[in-house]
Amino acid sequence: MTMPESFYVDVTGHQLECQLYPGKKPIIVVLHEGLGSVGMWRDFPAKLAQETGHGVLVYSRYGYGRSTPCTTHPVGDRYMHREALEALPALLDILEIEAPFLLGHSDGGSIALIHAGGAGRPVSGVITLAAHVFNEDICIAAIEQAKVAFETTDLKDKLGRYHDDPEGAFWLWNQAWLAPSFRHWNIEEYLPGITCPVLAIQGAEDEYGTSAQVESIGNKVAGPAKARILPKCRHSAHKDQPDEVLALVRGFIDAPRV
Encode pLDDT of 35-58 as tens digits: 999 999 999 999 999 999 999 999
**52 sits in which H/E element:** helix 44-52
What pairs with residue 28 in β-bridges?
Answer: 56, 101
Picking from 112, 145, 144, 114, the residue whose alpha carbon sits closest to that of residue 127 is 112
Domain ranges of the chain: 5-254
pLDDT computed for residue 258 by the predictor = 61
Asked: is 5-254 a CATH 3.40.50.300 domain? The reply is no
Alpha carbons 124 and 12: distance in angstroms, whole number: 25
pLDDT computed for residue 74 by the predictor = 64
**55 sits in which H/E element:** strand 54-59
pLDDT at 75 over 90: no
What spatial distance separates the first Cα and last Cα of the chain, rounded to whole Å?
32
What's the average model confidence in pLDDT over 16-43? 98
Chain CA centroid to CA 241, Å? 17
Chain CA centroid to CA 74, Å? 19
> pLDDT tens for residues 212-221?
999 999 999 9
Contacts of 244 (CB under 8 A, 6+ apart): 230, 237
pLDDT computed for residue 1 by the predictor = 65
Sort residue 100 into left (φ over 0), alpha (ψ -120 to 50) or beta: beta
Residue 73's pLDDT band (boundaries 50, 70, 90)? low
Give the type of residue at 62.
Answer: Y
CB 15 within 8 A of CB 91: no
Residue 254's pLDDT band (boundaries 50, 70, 90)? very high
SS3 track for 114-151: HHHHHCCCCCCEEEEECCCCECCHHHHHHHHHHHHHHH
